[in-house]
Chain A
Amino acid sequence: MRVVVAMSGGVDSSAVAGLLHEAGHEVIGVTLQLYDHGVAVGRKGACCAGQDIHDARRVADRLGIAHYVIDAEARFAKAVIADFADSYAAGETPVPCIRCNQTVKFADLTEMARELGAERLATGHYVRRVDGADGAELHRAVDDARDQSWFLFATTQSQLDMCLFPLGDMPDKRAVRDVASRLGLAVADKPDSQDICFVPSGTYAEVVSKLRPDAMQPGEIVTTDGRVVGQHDGIARFTVGQGKRLGNAAMEGGARQMVVATDPATRRIVIGPRGMGTDSVRLRDTNWLIPHSSAPLRCAVKLRARDALRPAWVEMSEDGALVRLDTATMPAPGQACVLYDGERVLGGGIICRA
């Protein structure tokens, strides 16, 4: 069959292209140009394409498959980068990879794959597609350390039906590198990408301050009862649950403090003693990979990319969901709450500000 492979230039998606090509499929490699590499690394006049696009093309050359570069800069700037800064300015802690998967990657690439007459879109994500009675199901990867299901909860059912995730069954990353090496791909030993792709230096604050300087204005640190106990240098630098950057306020009242809320309207950071929490979490922008249920749903939820599964009851509503955790914790607005039934992803949403 004809398969479009989303190739980032990294070892994972390169191995996917190689495996599908080896299996006899007609593979079409596509690499998204998401941002101007020259601008991102602060070098004027540098080529707009970075090393990753070059690597993807060389993998395609080696395999002898078609490969195209798609300009998604404008779309990415609006749907992902601007949204990232806006979310911080609204006192949240966004997950740009989820936005990117939801918009540029899965929405746009599945549509393109259909236009090009392809039956499937394959990616190098570590998740499993399991064909169930009601269509494709999204499951956690075999390799727990690499599992990316949390980042893919917003993939819609119709997108999922179109997708292939050949790496979901891989025992570990070593096995993927071995595939790339066996196929003679130069990226076999390429280091894993780190952090957020459009912030190569790792200082996300620079990106936010450029787009939303208001999120980097100084403000007050207050206690839950409204007492001003310190100053901060921009709400975008704080995440609910964070204990760092609080200065003298960190030990207010003799107890270790953490951020319990942010208020963009007053530019205030609210702190409280560690251990504070809530057992009720409201979700927006939900995506469901199961039929709508009016009865509360018993499942396990994950509130951060690297967090434990927490038992909860979930009530679906028209435009979101209400999660009742068995044990209180301090979820960060803007992060995702993803629902699991064992290995399977049932859906999820973005955590609202309390």
Chain B
Amino acid sequence: MDNAATPSIRTIGLGRDFADHTAVHRLDLEVNAGEVYGLLGPNGSGKSTTVRMLTTMLRPSRGTAQVAGADVARDPGTVRRRAGVVLQGTALDPLMSARELLRLQGRLQSLTPRQARARCTELLTAFDARDFADTPVGRLSGGQRRRVDLAVALVQRPDVLFLDEPTTGLDPASRRDLWDEIRTLAANHGVTVLLTTQHLEEADQLCDRVGILRAGRLIASAAPHALKDEVGDRFLTLRFRDASAADQARELLAAKGEQLHTAETAPHAVSIRLARPGADGETLLTLASAGLHAESLTVDEPSLEDVFLRLALTPEGAAA
């Protein structure tokens, strides 16, 4: 596959209606080969419906979608061979062991019994699952079950991996392990990853780009840092030795037209929104020229959470 020319995932006007509402309107999306793309959005924004359409579990009502070069509606069999899926919540038979699940998955992906056994051993080793390989998965911990789930999704060596809220219910250590694995799959093996998540830190850590869905519409799609620069606010907080100095600084900065942050973050502190590049240096010079010297200063960078709150949760049309 020509990575540069052909996106691993491409949707044009993709949408899905249900009896009483439209879950996804007209989604245009491209995810490049080897990229980790995060779909963010509040509950009911259309993330899981999008994943279900892209993985052939749900037929689109309109538009087209291609995964690894195959059309999800016209050639679902190829999509199912080329894409691995980790669903929201574990999708495993609790009575079967990891070994049984992996071998069966191999057979269903047309590996010979011998190939399926070899692939099973390889994945059990890779996921440190040999110790519990023969235990029914219903008796495993949440983290162990998630590892088995991911291993099952990788049996056929997919080009594209869909992860629908993969770390929900995992402890922090298991979550970090899974992040490492996802990074490795994308960086070392060129696997394209599309993940949905409610954890913004996860998206920030993992994703090359994120898209924000609101009410079934993609309202932003860019690298996390670009979204932060575009949407998020940076704040400069200065702490003075007494209230009098803080009041003088507040008056001076207000007179200069700076946007004061009204919330009191600390005693004798003044906080302003940095609305333009270099505003932090200018502010310090202004204060110094008036004989006001801060005892400490901090610059708060915007987080993806700020971006998310601003774009996804503010009323439609109110976002910047």
**A-B interaction:** no
Residues on B close to A: CB < 8 A? none
Residues on A close to B: CB < 8 A? none
